[in-house]
Amino acid sequence: MASPRHLMKLSAALLLLCVGVCVARNSDFSIVGYSEEDLSSNDRLVELFEKWLAKHQKAYASDLPKSVDWRKKGAVTEVKNQGQCGSCWAFSTVAAVEGINAIVTGNLTALSEQELIDCSVDGNSGCNGGLMDYAFSYIASSGGLHTEEAYPYLMEEGSCGDGKKAESKAVTISGFEDVPANDEQALIKALAHQPVSVAIEASGRHFQFYSGGVFDGPCGAQLDHGVAAVGYGSDKGKGHDYIIVRNSWGADWGEKGYIRMKRGTSNGEGLCGINKMASYPTKDK
């Protein structure tokens, strides 16, 4: 029996083939030029599709900016510190929401992690961990998020609202999207448009004691920490490509609260698993 991935590729090939019939010789994936044997073999169709996909992914990649830094574009607030509360997921979520809001509205507003800790309880556990997608879902369904000033951080779990529900929420989102897992190019594509929530393994001593430069490990891919990817670039001197990550351990850690993590590794999961579970909020203009 064919695997789901194989069937997905076959379906995509057939769809492209149908489109190609309409545009005939103007398409590089059409019925024109292929033998009856090619078009009647599922495996051959998938092979043709994979060649087409490789060609166009490479062409698309060349259209992306060589570097992006959302800090320089006014879409990233000051580095924050989660302290002893296991609320990294909330800080990762908020950073991504602050980013897309600034990009769409032109206003950079610091938002409330504490509201997520107290109120985003469907799937999340406050200071004991959570997931960014659940937090995005809460923000979209609850009418938005308060500012950090209106709902300040306590470094511990509180009661949802605490009299703040009457205040209007400052920032809304439409929903969220997941980046295809283990696809670095898809992550870079998303980052070219906005800051992205990502998860990494951060429990290793090399990561925890990072102080500067392009980090290349060692680290595993057992995800245990939520952070925000806020750009990407290259170290021309050493030839390393990297992703710019904002941590939530204060500005005294790393490069003023940030770490540049090497990209372009042979492992699809990415360094410290950064490609495994990325997502970003969406916001209507």
User: What residues are labeled active site?
Assistant: 88, 225, 247
Q: How far apart, in whole angstroms, are the C-alpha atoms of residue 184 and residue 197?
A: 14
Listed in sequence order, the DSSP H helices in 106-246 are: 113-119, 132-142, 184-191, 205-208
Of 114, 121, 117, 116, the closest CA to residue 149 belongs to 114
Residues of the chain by 3-state class (helix, strand, coil), percent to 5: 35, 15, 50
Q: Tokens 């998860």 label which residue?
A: 199
Q: How far apart, in whole angstroms, are the C-alpha atoms of residue 226 and residue 247?
A: 8
